[in-house]
Structure formats: structure tokens, C-alpha cells
Amino acid sequence: MKYVYLFSEGNAKMRELLGGKGANLAEMTNIGLPVPQGFTITTEACTRYYDDGRKIADDIMDEIMQNVSKMEEMNGKKFGDKVNPLLVSVRSGARASMPGMMDTILNLGLNDEVVAAMIAGNPDPKFERFVYDSYRRFIQMFSDVVMEVGKKYFEQLIDEMKERKGVTYDVELSAADLKELAEQFKAEYKKQIGQDFPSDPKVQLYEAIRAVFRSWDNPRANVYRRDNDIPYSWGTAVNVMPMVFGNLNDNSGTGVAFTRDPATGEKKLMGEFLTNAQGEDVVAGVRTPMPIAQMAELFPEAYSQFVQVCHTLEDHYRDMQDMEFTVENGKLYMLQTRNGKRTAQAALKIACDLVDEGMIDEKTAVSMIEPRNLDTLLHPQFDAAALKAAKPIGKGLGASPGAASGKVVFTAEDAVEWNKRGEKVILVRRETSPEDITGMKAAQGILTERGGMTSHAAVVARGMGECCVSGCGDIRMDEASKRFVLGGKTFAEGDIISIDGATGNVYDGVIPTVDASISGYFGRIMAWADKYRRLQVRTNADTPRDAKKARELGAQGIGLCRTEHMFFEPDRIAAFREMICADTLEAREAALAKIQPMQQSDFEALYEAMEGDPVTIRFLDPPLHEFVPNTEEEIELLADTVGKTVEQVKEIINDLHEFNPMMGHRGCRLAVTYPEIAVMQTRAVIRAALNVQARHPEWTLVPEIMIPLVGEVKELKYVKDVVVKTADEEIAAAGVSLKYKVGTMIEIPRAALTADQIAREAEFFSFGTNDLTQMTFGFSRDDAAKFLGSYYDTKIYENDPFAKLDQTGVGKLVQMAVKLGHETRPDIHMGICGEHGGEPTSVAFCHKVGLDYVSCSPFRVPIARLAAAQAAIAEEKDKKAEAKDRTAEAEEKAAETARKAKEQVDEKVEAAKAALKEAAEQLSYLAAGATGELKDVVSAGFKGLLAGWEEAKKTYGETRNK
């Protein structure tokens, strides 16, 4: 196996093997751009490094040194040589861009002897300063990156030196100062490590490569990968290339630039440049760089060439490029190019502009937008400058995007009261429950100590488009005293905090926000996405407000209406609690009769909001204990209402307690025990549909009634029979025609395993992947966040399975249920309504397994639309590639068949030639002694042979052509 490739041996298509940086360095080499010629150590070498116990195998190291020799020949310098030394940089480069997450080492190859030799060969004092500047940089970077000695020790020595010399910037230090610093750095290294700084360049190279491989598993890289869906198994490549020196003199410099503005998308060159500096200075902010345009004044020839390179690269890659470059003594060198990171607004504009410029087509434009970035277009964000200056005091899960600042309150009631007074508040809870819904609506944002990405707080906040940070485990909550401790500070009611629902960061005090804005480019991209996607996109909505917002954002119906949320309004919860406390069927029906018109009104409003699009209504799902009162005051009020003692009500409440309520008396089990609940909800659904259909005859309403938590076909049939009987009675009484469907949620593994049986009764499936994930993994979605961190650290899991669908296990159940369901009922309609319905990789999976729609929170609808289109475009591309491969394979087989046929023909021709030759020899022998009539016979024989030979040649030619 080949583990090392020269830049001249690779290309852009080898990204998986060479990483993004290595593939692009190879591509820039191929198109003739000025790239220092080096080599890339592959991602497979990184994988083997970990497989071999974090060691670089001898055969890989041998191959690396062979390529060092080739690099020496190409550059005319020798690694470790004291006359003409080759210095190199060692840089990481994963296949997906991970800016700043992994490690780089510059100026590798320097030691005391090499430094002395370099200075001896050039008496210019400025050159001496450059050499010592490079040496002290190398010692500091090697110590920090390779040996993990904190850079703070070296920065302190630099600061002390600058203070002693009375200067502000590093560039003001003399050669003697830098020489002294280098000695101090080596002494600090020995003090921290206990051994001398390594002087052998080969040892330096080995350790540097090992450090880059090791950095693939550093904490910041692990977090970045989880946040950006980059698998740990990919590994990183390592790029080794000759150093070019931006810090050589004042005729040198280094810079970073973008071919378009990454913030706005405007088509203009953007970037920064520093003279007499190395690349780390630009990134680290050691000095204030100048705008890239000023480079034209200092280095006009290099700048002109760089502008041309920018045009070349953008034309070649057909996308905005992010480039790193160095000018050494006026000569330009390109060190990196990649598709640039950009804001969501810039991404939309760049994609549309590239289509308008004729550089890409619509499908490419749709495919180049990161779906998750659309979140930032729909929610307020913190001001970028203010955010940069702020320091987080804690971190949870970014459960619902957006940014919010406000005064801390600890109860839903307080949130409502403070909001009425005009106060902006952040609701801080240990965890939220359905009872907190009014307070959640009143707050600017929600912060919880417990809970994961599918906790109540996360799901409801996403549905409302409200900022939420959940599972901030560092909080020490004292709800009784209305206080919490975070980041070493105690926060009381009324103190101001800020939360970032995208990153999960929590800040002390106010951070200014900027409003979300949607441009015309958004509409164009979404229209293209809708043009190419197959999957429909519905929304999870419980209120007309959510439904309207989702429809504005492109939802094609409601895939999940959770009816239980409607019960928590103050005027309804009382009636439902009466039903819970009732002793007889009649009493329960009387209590439910109070709720029915309210539910009917809710459903009518949802139908109106969706204007004839499908509406799927899930019947009551949570266990009854979630609806009972918690305070003494509420319990006394309920006791008075139902004519029972407080002790009797408390006994009822205690009886409802379950050790594992998520697997207890809930969902369809409630309807089996209390079919009157299903009767009431069916009447509300059907009567609402009849009323709205009468008001809008141009619409075709087909209500979809969804029975939750089914695990056995007989329980579905039992509840369905109740629904059908009630619905048919209502429709008959109205004297009109109305179609409806009865289906189920597939959220219990047994339901997926017996989907063929369940499809006999269900007219549609909706995969409730929140519960299906919970029951398949066997852990609580509300508590998993407490221990999943350890699973990420140990690489047992790479992602939160509640945030990103587990395609290996849960996905296999979904795929099985799809197949079994279609075998029983070919026309069955299938979708997904868990939170995964708005996660891009999960949407792609839903497309792949043949679902008809995904359903997600309103503000995730655009994300799902874009992800669905990308899945369809990717599938088409894959099919074309497969067809091309099949064609190539068929052509190869045809060529092989022709080759074999040619061989057979050639064999026959050779045999015929041999026979003719033998016949000719015999005739020649006869002709030598022939006279008279015999001579005529021999002559005729010769003529026949010649005619036969000509005919054979003609046949041979025709056969070869065929």
C-alpha cells in the first residue's frame, strides 16, 4: 500500500486519501500555480497510526524519508544540511475543512548548527535576525504542539524581553534579542520536559508527524467533528512542504484572502496581509494586519500575480476560495486553497451569483448550501464583534438556535408576569414540563440544567422558534431560593444572562443581538430545492401560529399535531383533571364533553391555517400523571371541584405514579383503558373537518388520525374500531361525504418488527424516532445527556442519537418497517415526525429508504426542504456514476471479447499461412523438375495458392474489423 504521495502525484479527486489540503495542493500543482513542492502522508497512514497503538510504523517512516529525498532533489536543498539546509512545514489536512482544530509546525529542521551555518553564509544583519526569529518560533511551536508544553511559558518570556527592551512588537526585537530568546526557550523546554531540545531533524520530523496525527483526537477537534458530522474514522492527512519565509525581510510577507466577501457574498477580493511575518501571526492576531488591497502598493508584481491566481482558482473550483499565501523576497507562493467558510447570507448570494455568472447550474447551487446554516437566517443572532469579546461562563447543548438576553426567572408564572411588565426574561429551570408552556412562550429564551436535544424544552422551543440551551450540567440549581451557580458566580432572580442556542454557550450580562433577515436569494434557492426534491416536507405544529409560520416557510401539511399540549391551557386542564378523578364512565364523559368543543375549535384553526393541506393529529400520548396538580392550592381546588377530599385526590395522584412512565400507561394504552378519550378526540377531529370543509368547498380535507405507541396489531385494531365507529356516525349525521385515514406511529421496536401485521389496520405509518431511538438504545432521552459525554470521549458514540438518526440500528428498524408495510399495503403512506425530520443526514436517509415525507419543527422546514433536494440530487448523481461505471465495465468486457476473438483469428491465419507455405514449398520442389503438362499443372497450383492467399487476407481483415 502506498502511504505517501508527492504533490505532483495527486489531484483534487483524491480528497478522501490526501485530505482537503493535500488534494488541493496537488491540484494547484497540476494547474501550474506556484506551490512549494512537497508530499502528503495519507489519511490511511493516520488510521494505521491509531491501529498500531499511536505509533508510526517503520515501513511508513521509510516511505516518508524516501519522499524527503525526492523533495530535496526537487528543491535543491538537503534536510539537516549545514551548507544548504531544507526547512519544512508540517501541517494537518482532513478531508473536511476543520480550520484551527488541528496542529501545524513551521520552520522544522533548524538546530544550533544549521542556524550558525545559515548565518555564516549570509553576513546581512537582517538575515541573521530572520534566522533567529525562525528558530525561536520553531522551538516555541514544537514545544507547544509536539511536546504539549503550554505556549504561555514562552509568551511570558517574549513579554519580559519586550518590556526589558522597551518595545511593543516582536518585529522590533533585534537579532541579538531573538538569539537570547531562543536560548531561553531551549532552557524552558529542558525545565518542562527534563531533556534537551531535539537537534536531529529526522527526530523532529517524526515527532511532528506524530503530533499532527495525535491532534486528530484532541478535545477541540473531537467537539468540532461532533458539531459538523465528521466521522472519527476518516483520520487526517499530513502535508510536508518546504518552508517559504514571509519573515525573511521587509520584501516578504504572508496573508489570507477570500475571492468573495465571506460575510456578505459580495464579489470582491477580501483578506489581510502582514509584512515580515509568518502565517501564524495573521491568524493569532499578534500584529494588526493590513487590508489585502494595500499589498498592491508594497508588492505590485506579487499582488498582480495573486489576483490572477484568485481568478484561476475560482474558475477552476467554481466556488468562493479561501487561500493562504506567502511572499518571499517578492516571489508569490500558494500554500493552501479551499472552498471558503461563509455566513448563511453569503452562501445564498454566492450560489445565486455563480448560477447567474454561468459557472454552475441550479442543482450545484442547491448542493453547495449547508442546510443547518439556514437556522441563522431565521433567528436573531448575537452581534459578531460583541460576541467575540464575550467569554462563556458555561456550556450546554445548542437545542434551539437563536440568541437571547434577559433577566433570570425560575418559574413559568414569573416569566408571564415579568413579560407583562415589559421585561425580557430567560426562563431557567432544572427541566421543563408541559405545564411551563405559557412561561416558555413569554420568555426570550430557555436554559435548563437537565435534558438533551429531544427533551421537552428542546422540542417545544424549536417548535416556537425560540432560543434554548438545554442540559447545562455545570449549573447548580436552587429553585426553592430562586438561585443558581454557574462559572463561579451566583445568579439570582432578575440578574441578566445571555444564551446562544446555536453553540449552547451561556454568558454573564447582556450581549447585543441583530435581527434575522431573509433575502430574495433565500426564495430562489428554496424554489430550486422544491423543484428537485422528491420528499414532501410537513411540520410538527400544535397551534395555528406555529402552523402559519411553518406554511410561510414552505411546509406542505402537518405531520404531527400533539393534542396533549392543547390540554394545558388553564380553562382545559381543570376539566381534564376532573376526568382523571372521575369514578364512573358517565363522569369521565361529562368532563370530556367540556373539552371537546375546545379541541374542535383548535382543530378547525389548524385546518384553516393549512388551507387544505394534510393534517395528522396524534391522539393523547403522555401518561396521566403529567396532568395532575402539583401544589397544595391546586389539589384543594380540584378536590372541591370533584367533590372529594384532599386525601382522596392525593391518593389518586399517587396511584398514577409510575416507576418508568415513558414505558407505562400512555399512548394507545390510555385509549384501550379509557376509549371515551378516543371517542371525544375523534368527534372533535371529524366535526372540525366537516365545518371547515363546508366553509371551503374548494379544499379537499382528509383528516389523518394517528394512534400513538402501538406495539401489537390487536391494540391498534381495538382503538381503530372505536375511531371508525365514531367518525362514521358523525359523517352520517352530517349527511355529507368526508374521507379520513387512521394510521399509527411506529415508535416501539416491536411495531417495526411486525409492521406487516400492523399495516393490515394502519393506512399510514409515521415514524416517531424520538421514542424509537429511546427504546432501541434503552436509555432516557431526558437523562442521556448526563453520560453521553463519556461515550463521545471514548469514541463509543460519535453523535447524539437523539439529534442525528442512528442509521445502523434505529435506521435498520425503519427500513424493515418500510419494506414490511409496503408488502402488506402497497399504497401505504409513510413519513417521519421525530426531531430527526429536520436533521440533514437523517433527511437523506429518509429519502434513501423511500419515505414519502419528513415532518419537523416550523423553523426547520427550510432545512428539511434543502436537505431533501440535496438527497435527490446526490442520488441522481450516484445513479449516473453507476451507469457510467456499468458502461465502462461493458466496454471493457466487449474489448476483452474482441481481443480474444482477434487472438483466435490470428491463430487461424497463422495456421493457414503455415499450410500455404508448406504447399508452396512442395509446389516449388515439383516445379524445379517439371516439364510440359506437369509444369502447367504446377503453375496453375501456384495461381490457386495466390488467389487463396488474397481471399484469406480479405477475410482476415473483415474479421479483425468486426
Q: Which of 318, 372, 370 is nearest to 348 (CA)?
A: 370
Whole-angstrom Cα distance, residue 67 to residue 4?
A: 7
List the beta strands (DSSP E) in 573-709: 615-618, 704-707
CB atoms within 10 A of CB 142: 25
Q: Rounded CA gap, 136 and 158, in Å?
A: 10
Q: Which residues pair with 562 in a beta bridge?
A: 618
> How far apart are alpha carbons 463 and 455 in whole angstroms?
12
- CA–chain centroid gap for 754, Å, is 33
DSSP 8-state secondary structure symbol assigned to residue 838: G
Residue tagged 531533524 (cell numbers)? 201
Helix axes 840-849, 810-824, angle to 10 degrees: 30
Q: How far apart are CA 432 and CA 411, in angstroms?
A: 10
SS3 annotation, 17-32: HHHHHHHHHHHHHHCC
Strand partners, 332: 327
The strands making up 403-409's β-sheet, listed across from edge to edge, are: 394-395, 505-508, 496-500, 403-409, 425-429, 445-448, 467-470, 397-400
Q: How far apart are CA 99 and CA 93, in angstroms?
A: 9
Tell me the CA distances in angstroms from 916 to 685, 913, 940, one per residue in order.
95, 5, 15
Q: SS3 string of 177-234?
A: HHHHHHHHHHHHHHHHHCCCCCCCHHHHHHHHHHHHHHHCCCHHHHHHHHHCCCCHHH
Q: What are phi and psi of 328, to 5 degrees?
A: -115, 115
Distance in angstroms (rounded) separating the CA atoms of residues 331 and 306: 10
Alpha helices in 299-411 (DSSP H): 300-317, 344-356, 362-367, 375-378, 384-389
Kind and range of the H or E run holding 830: strand 829-832
C-alpha cell belonging to residue 337 = 486553497
| Residue 831 bridge partners (DSSP) | 766, 853
Distance CA 454, CA 449 (A): 14
Catalytic residues: 456, 833
Side-chain half-sphere of 329: how many Cα atoms within 13 Å? 5
